[in-house]
Structure 1
């Protein structure tokens, strides 16, 4: 939509979220792997986290206390019945990851770090290399490698969130490189 359709000059507030969805559209709730009985997961709620979070809590409580629960196998993260359409989606998702990996490595900055305005970020040219740049509201320049520390895809600047977002697996980093959301656990590399 366009701002002029709503007769507004700017938007002061935003809503955003990463909505993880499993291949078969059924959340993963339970023991994460068969080899580690002490690690449990609840994810893949497909925009229904508020209600499914309660159901996940009830199921996890039963699993942890050994109480029988008829939904245990339905939500088991280790279920392995991959249907043809799920397998097709799996291949497509991973092809998209490969495409994003290549696109990120080929991306080139079109401006220098000196051109960044306060509270602005994006790809910049720094000593002949493309890096991520962010100029904070006080005017200090922060430079980072845009290579995600999870699996090496290149992050993209998210203007609305003021974050570096990885298009491959969903990691998010603050404007100066700190981890906001995994799967990455290490920050983006700072550049002096």
Structure 2
């Protein structure tokens, strides 16, 4: 029996057009831009306790509310910006996550000045994407020793909402690990980008 792309695609994205587009164009593609990595880490933190599709549907509103996720801007924010964001129905209005984003921007700037945020994060996987060869979603872990180490290092640097499950999802999303199923058309495409 021949499989078409819709049935061969990783099952987690379902058929929602937004989710399918994210799966096909963004998820798992190796990301090296430090600002984009920071944005994805922050959005993964906002996802804590929610479904990723919730964040994905609000991503553009988040980008507008957080001024393009430029850490240099957000690191200077205080209570007026927190109050503004808490009143914005287009984002997840969680004081702890908003305040954590400001502290994380300050941490980002320290790491970026010290050694570069992107090289620092990518060092956890030896600088190159890990190539998983999983045939089913049942084989995909929720966390790994590497995501645990990344989580501990991020927390030591002042980040919050970055437990090992969140950091593993971050690693998957940013292509640090290729967790597309081997039957998924994106698996080979993403592997070639490594």
TM-score clears 0.5: no
Max Rg structure? 1
More strand by share: 1
TM-score scaled by length of structure 1: 0.25
Of structures 1 and 2, the one with the larger relative CO (CA 8 A, separation 6+) is 2
TM-score scaled by length of structure 2: 0.25
